[in-house]
Amino acid sequence: MTTMMQLRAVLVPDEGKLALSEDYFRSAHHLRAEGVTHTLVIDGGAGGALRLPLIVRPIEGTPYRDAVSPYGYPGGVLDGLSEVPKDAVDWRGTELVSIFVRDRVAGPRCFSGGTARNEVFFIDPRLPIEFREMHRRHVRRNFRLGFVSTYRPARESSREEREGFQEAYRQTMVRDGASSRYFFPDAYFEELFSSPAAWLATTRAPDGHVASAALGVSSDGVLHYYLGGTADAHLARSPAKNVFVALTELCTQLGLPLHLGGGIQPGDGLEELKRGLANASSRLCTHEIICKPEVYARLSEGSPGEDYFPAYRAPRR
């Protein structure tokens, strides 16, 4: 843990350039796709710095702004600073009301005292890999029926593979009743497909059409199952299990643990599927930072969101 005199937080309007790295979730491709606007710099002087990409947003109906990390698990660039106590930072220079930080899933955290959120699962190639018998049976059945799985760098995928992935993903979001946040525009996918840190795993049905597909991205020493889906027509065969086998082969080849993510709700079917594939687990970590306590309290009065941050953005029931 970093312990020192009070640190200074500065907000730089540079579209996240000071937080760039080769890791996908802090890459130029991801920051452009997510519309990152600023870098938060925690300046520790000779002790180093911490640099986080942020999306700064106006708070509707007020003269104030707040900020949130881009989607995924970006954390920040740790240049000598990590596990920083939030109360050791002077946040006034940011002129923000609050900041919501999504941290990396493995390795050192940006700040100490983070909030442990839902359980997430890993397939670690350094540990014995043992899928549940039902999953193995489904994978073998699909293979016998003529389902074929492949993986390749996303930049080398064909237009037909990309379109097949996008359609399977879209159909899955519609089935799950996902919020509009998850219906990404074509430009978002173009950034993903052009990233050198992205891989596309595809399982085709016997007729050659894409039955299920997933995009994996490499970030902070982990291969992340980032976006994926299954076409409606092939849902009954659970071809996503074959995609996970392909991603397991890929993570073994790369020597990286595969982060599967978790469920939509604790204990749901998606969580149980991933638990049955995994050989390790952890919990997501976020950090909730209140920069202007008095303003935050005033804006949050009467808010319905006890567990929502920032409370003043909680959905109204």
Query: Could you list the mean pLDDT of each consecutive 10-residue stretch along the chain, which spans 317 residues?
Result: 70 98 97 98 90 97 97 94 93 96 92 92 91 90 96 97 97 93 95 98 97 97 96 95 95 95 81 88 95 96 83 84
Q: For residue 43, give both structure tokens.
A: 């300046």
Q: What is the structure's pLDDT at 307?
A: 80
- For residue 185, which amino acid is it? P
Residue range(s) in the chain whose domain bears CATH number 3.40.630.30: 125-278
Find where tokens 């300046």 sit.
Answer: 43
Q: For residue 315, give both structure tokens.
A: 């959905």
CB of 203 within 8 A of CB of 243? yes
The model's pLDDT over 215-251, given as tens digits with 9 standing for 90+, comes to 999 999 999 999 999 999 999 999 999 999 999 999 9
Q: What is the structure's pLDDT at 109?
A: 93
Q: What is the structure's pLDDT at 96?
A: 98
pTM for this structure?
0.92
**What is the spatial distance between Cα 30 and Cα 189, in angstroms, rounded to a whole number?**
10
Q: What is the structure's pLDDT at 316?
A: 74
Q: What is the structure's pLDDT at 180?
A: 92
* The CATH number, out of the four listed (3.40.630.30, 3.40.50.150, 2.160.20.60, 3.20.20.60), of the domain defined by the range 125-278: 3.40.630.30
CB of 98 within 8 A of CB of 310? yes
The model's pLDDT over 96-112, given as tens digits with 9 standing for 90+, comes to 999 999 999 987 999 99
Q: Cite the DSSP H helix spans in 71-230.
A: 133-145, 159-176, 186-193
H or E element at residue 282: strand 280-290
Q: What is the structure's pLDDT at 132?
A: 86
Q: What is the structure's pLDDT at 317?
A: 63
Angle formed at CA 48 by CA 24 and CA 70, multiple of 5 degrees: 30
CA proximity to 23, closest of 71, 77, 67: 77
